[in-house]
Amino acid sequence: MKRVLIFDSGVGGLSVYQEIYTQLPSLQYIYAFDDAGFPYGELPETVLIKRTRHIVSLLVERHHIDLVVIACNTASTVVLPTLRAELTIPVVGVVPAIKPAALMSKQKAVGLLATPATVEREYTHQLIAQFASDCDVYRIGSTRLVEMAEEKLRGKSVSLDELAGILTPWQGKVDSIVLGCTHFPLIKAEIAQAFGTPVNIVDSGLAIANRVKSLLGELEAGEQSALVSNYTYNSAADPHTAALNLSLKSLNLGAVQSLNYPGF
Ligand code: DGL
């Protein structure tokens, strides 16, 4: 049985986990999130790289991981070369789905919804230049949206008015929206409802799941053995995890355990 580590700053990577789990339910999953460093969209790049490297290498060793998914756009846009140089196992990253959104857009007007860091990254500028040079690409970098997804997974309802307020600048302007942060597919239905007018909403989850499948092979099809548990780790000593643990349980993930990592 293969073991996969999925990493994010918070609950966003769960949107990627869901896509992978649907296709490959027989793997063992270790989900880790760096809530002590959250939100990554507001961290300096050097700090983000250091934190990701530490947590990922610790868990790769502890759980004899076969493949790592950096299920965070903000981290993937800067950390992948370092991780790939350090680890001997495959490292899959996630980047904003600019290319399919640009292809899909009839009006050639695309909105990129991501973290404040991702909308400014050089990597993102290059993606747009390479795949959406025939489109107007509008950007919103929002940490509040990330927090709303965190709240939803802890049982709080999402305010459609607040969402509509964030999306107002794009009304009548775009016909495709890229969810360039893994937190946002968790509130995709609410985003669609708050936007009001019909719009294509594109994320990278399925592409990541397909990539993992092609790297680990079709051999892993079938149900997970009842003897196997999936684990969840966080980096902060957060005692208030009861509501989140309910969401994790519904996704077949274990309750949050703190890494208590002394490295920070
Ligand atoms: N889920 C993350 C992403 O895909 C980061 C959110 C954050 O911590 O700012 O970008």
- Write the CATH number for 102: 3.40.50.1860
Residue 181: active-site member: yes
For the CA of 181, the nearest atom of ligand 1 = 4
Closest by CA to 207, choosing from 80, 50, 114, 99, is 99
**One-letter amino acid of 31:** Y
146 C-beta closer than 6 A to ligand 1: yes
| Helix (H) and strand (E) counts in the chain | 11, 10
Q: How close is the Cα of 183 to the center of ligand 1, in Å?
A: 6
pLDDT digits (tens, 9 = 90+) for 150-197: 999 999 999 999 999 999 999 999 999 999 999 999 999 999 999 999
Closest residue to atom 2 of ligand 1, CA basis? 72
51 C-beta closer than 6 A to ligand 1: no
What pTM did the predictor assign? 0.95
In a domain, 234, yes or no: yes
Domain count, the chain: 2
Pair (45, 174) in one structural domain: no
145 C-beta closer than 6 A to ligand 1: no
pLDDT digits (tens, 9 = 90+) for 193-218: 999 999 999 999 999 999 999 999 75
For the CA of 116, the nearest atom of ligand 1 = 9
Pair (21, 76) in one structural domain: yes
Pair (145, 223) in one structural domain: no
Q: How close is the Cα of 222 to the center of ligand 1, in Å?
A: 31
- CB atoms inside a 10 Å sphere around CB 23: 15
Whether omega before 39 lies within 30 degrees of 0, making that bond cis, reads yes
Pair (171, 218) in one structural domain: no
Closest by CA to 27, choosing from 254, 222, 255, 234, is 222
Q: What's the pLDDT score for residue 217?
A: 75
